[in-house]
């Protein structure tokens, strides 16, 4: 009998689809930080009753990208400069750990997948698709977490990713500039294929810092604007 691995079939609940829709809207910045989500309006737009919508929102609240105040409403989280600093400093620590855990497990499949994701980033960059560029870059970065073989670490990373993607999307949207054409991930990929783990860890830390500076200045701008209101 031929050995064939079937992947689990897709979740076909409205709830799951709503979660995906809402998450996408938030992470791409279509729903802005602080914005209130009106249950009736959204449920009518999606042609869905409020029950699955509310359950979906509850999930996203736990995921950390929505926040809920009883009898007042559910809102997209606000983004402060401190949030970004917090997320990034934690990300640095987790990166180091993930690389350490992944290091001895690297094999050909890992390298292939690394190249594949790297290629996806380059393609999105060439296509000037900023949203997809952010998405693919985070997926490239997430490989070390998937390979670390630590479910709790992976969950943590995925939660963090949501925020990071949201921050980057906001930033991109705000400055509205063409994306950088040069490939900033080349060194990262090369180091992950190499034999010097500490160098890879060091680079992860520094590389992150790079985009981080820009993000931060954007966030500080946000706060200045907010304080004027």
Partner DNA sequence: TCTTGTTAGATTGTCGACAATCTGCTTGTC
Partner DNA sequence: GACAAGCAGATTGTCGACAATCTAACAAGA
Q: Site size for DNA, by CB under 7 A? A: 23
What is the distance in angstroms between the CA of the first residue and the CA of the last residue of the chain?
Answer: 69
Binding residue (CB under 7 A) for DNA from 40, 108, 109, 228: 40
Task: Note whether 15 binds DNA by CB under 7 A.
Answer: yes
Task: Note whether 16 binds a second copy by CB under 8 A.
Answer: yes
Q: Which of 37-45, 103-111, 153-161, 219-227 is the region at the interface with a second copy (rule: CB under 8 A)?
A: 153-161
What x/- string results for residues 27 through 66 when contact with a second copy is judged by CB under 8 A? ------------------------x--xx--xx-xxxx--
Q: Which of 10-18, 79-87, 107-115, 214-222 is the region at the interface with DNA (rule: CB under 7 A)?
A: 10-18
Task: Note whether 195 binds a second copy by CB under 8 A.
Answer: no
Task: Note whether 74 binds DNA by CB under 7 A.
Answer: yes
Q: Which of 85-93, 104-112, 127-135, 137-145 is the region at the interface with a second copy (rule: CB under 8 A)?
A: 85-93
Q: Which does 39 bind (CB under 5 to 8 A by kind): a second copy, DNA, none?
A: DNA
**How far is CA 193 from its chain centroid?**
23
Binding residue (CB under 8 A) for a second copy from 1, 6, 12, 72: 12
Q: E strand or H helix at 194, and its extent?
A: none
* Burial class of residue 168 (count of CB atoms within 10 Å of its CB; 0-12, 13-18, 19+): buried
Binding residue (CB under 7 A) for DNA from 34, 35, 73, 186: 73
Contact (CB, 8 A) for 118 and 185: yes
* Burial class of residue 70 (count of CB atoms within 10 Å of its CB; 0-12, 13-18, 19+): exposed
Q: Which does 62 bind (CB under 5 to 8 A by kind): a second copy, DNA, none?
A: a second copy
The residues near 162 (Cβ < 8 Å, ≥ 6 apart) are 23, 27, 63, 64, 65
Radius of gyration of the chain (CA): 19
Binding residue (CB under 7 A) for DNA from 49, 62, 105, 217: 49
Q: Choose among 83, 96, 94: nearest CA to 167.
A: 83
Residues 155-184 touching DNA, rule: CB under 7 A, are none
Q: Which of 22-30, 33-41, 139-147, 199-207 is the region at the interface with DNA (rule: CB under 7 A)?
A: 33-41
**3-class DSSP assignment, residue 73:** strand
What is the 8-class DSSP label of residue 36? E
- Diameter of the chain measured on Cα atoms: 70
Binding residue (CB under 7 A) for DNA from 21, 25, 48, 208: 48
């Amino acid at each position: 009998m031929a050995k064939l691995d079937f992947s689990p079939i897709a979740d076909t609940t409205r709830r799951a689809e709503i979660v995906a829709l809402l998450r996408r809207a938030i992470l791409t910045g279509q729903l802005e930080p602080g914005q209130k989500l009106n249950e009736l309006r959204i449920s009518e737009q999606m042609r869905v009753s409020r029950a699955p919508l509310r359950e979906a929102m509850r999930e996203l609240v736990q995921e950390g990208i929505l926040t809920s105040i009883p009898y007042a409403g559910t809102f997209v989280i606000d983004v402060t400069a401190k949030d970004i600093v917090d997320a990034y400093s934690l990300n640095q620590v987790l990166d180091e750990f993930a690389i350490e855990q992944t290091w001895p497990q690297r094999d050909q499949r890992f390298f292939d997948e690394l190249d594949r994701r790297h290629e996806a980033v380059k393609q999105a960059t060439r296509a000037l698709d900023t949203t997809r560029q952010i998405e693919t870059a985070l997926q490239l970065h997430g490989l070390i977490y998937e390979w670390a073989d630590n479910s709790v670490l992976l969950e943590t990373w995925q939660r963090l990713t949501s925020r990071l993607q949201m921050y980057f999307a906001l930033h991109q949207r705000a400055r509205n500039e063409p994306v950088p054409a040069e490939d900033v991930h080349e060194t990262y990929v090369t180091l992950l294929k190499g034999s010097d783990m500490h160098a890879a860890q060091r680079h992860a830390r520094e590389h992150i810092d790079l985009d981080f500076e820009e993000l931060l200045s954007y966030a500080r701008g946000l706060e200045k604007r907010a304080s004027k209101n």
